[in-house]
Amino acid sequence: MSFTGDEYSKRTLDFVQRLQGLTDYEQICALIMKELDWFGFSCVTSFSIPGPGCHLKDSIWLNNRPAEYVERYEEKNYVIHDPVVKELRRTMTPYSWGDVRERRDLKKSERTIIDEGREFGAHDGFIIPIVSLSGSMALFSPCGRDPDLSPRARAALEIIGIYSHHALTRALIRRQREEVVHTPLTPREREIMQWVAVGKTDEEIADILSISTTTVTSHVENAKQKLDAFRRTYAVVQAIRLGEISL
């Protein structure tokens, strides 16, 4: 190994310090890619696991792998079958593609998916699982021809991955908030939506808060309007997304 442990740690802290100053999404991406390059990673992908009915495209936070690769990945719905992604459900600690490829219980088709990456110059990659308390999973995955995957590098990469993810989230949230001009709910509306979110009927909420049912209904309707929702189910989802109520 040509780098000392301290080289890794110093770089990592420097990286974080530089990233702290950035708020612009594109600048953050550029800095992340530059840093990963030092480790021998030429590409990076970060996305949250899309649910059914959700396209992978809409879940991607950061990606500079070839467009054709991503298209094929999306087209063949690899995100469901890719063993590297499936591994996310087993473990919550970082691992490399190689770690997965070595497993005995892989089907032939699964091995194919990993190997296809090679055609695009990605011989090995590293997966940093990202969890959120809401239970949704995401991953941050740099890859390249011959990346540094030594233990010390892995520790540094986990920091880089988690911190990058955090910085990207911050930038995306900022952008989201700027885009969505969202009228904030009043405290009462928030309180009532919180009850709606746990499945209480207007009558039950009225009982809990000692107000009339019609009042509850009108608060919900106001909130729906502010949240741009026709149905209260979506209003709740929007309220969660916009941070008006929490899970």
- Interface residue list for DNA (CB under 7 A): 186-189, 201-203, 206, 209, 211-215, 217-221, 224, 230-233
Helix (H) or strand (E) holding 85: helix 83-90
Q: Which residue in the set 60, 172, 218, 222 belongs to the binding site for its own copies (CB under 8 A)? A: 172
For its own copies, the closer CB: 37 or 158:
158
1 scored as a contact of its own copies (CB under 8 A): no
Q: What's the CA gap between 107 and 191, in Å, rounded?
A: 50
Residue 51 binds: one of its own copies, DNA, none (C-beta under 5 to 8 A by kind)? its own copies
Q: Which residue in the set 81, 111, 123, 190 belongs to the binding site for its own copies (CB under 8 A)? A: 190
Q: What's the CA gap between 111 and 113, in Å, rounded?
A: 5
Q: What angle do CA 171, 172, 173 make, to 5 degrees?
A: 95
52 scored as a contact of its own copies (CB under 8 A): yes
Compute the least distance from the CB of residue 82 to its own copies, in Å.
Answer: 16
Site for its own copies in 148-167 (CB under 8 A): 151-152, 155-156, 158-159, 162-163, 166
DSSP secondary structure, 136-168, as one string: -EEEEEEEESS----HHHHHHHHHHHHHHHHHH
- Which letter does DSSP use for residue 183 in this model? P
Compute the least distance from the CB of residue 48 to DNA, in Å.
Answer: 22
Query: Quick check: 58 and 69 in contact, CB under 8 A?
Result: no
215 scored as a contact of its own copies (CB under 8 A): no
Q: Please count the residues of this chain forming the interface with its own copies, following the rule CB under 8 A.
A: 73
Site for its own copies in 31-50 (CB under 8 A): 48-50
For DNA, the closer CB: 122 or 223:
223
Compute the least distance from the CB of residue 53 to DNA, in Å.
Answer: 13
For its own copies, the closer CB: 1 or 92:
92
Long-range contacts of 25-31 (CB under 8 A, 24+ apart): 25/168, 25/171, 25/172, 25/175, 28/164, 28/167, 28/168, 28/171, 29/62, 29/64, 29/168
CA 83 to centroid of chain Cα atoms: 19
Q: The tokens of 125 are what?
A: 């990659």
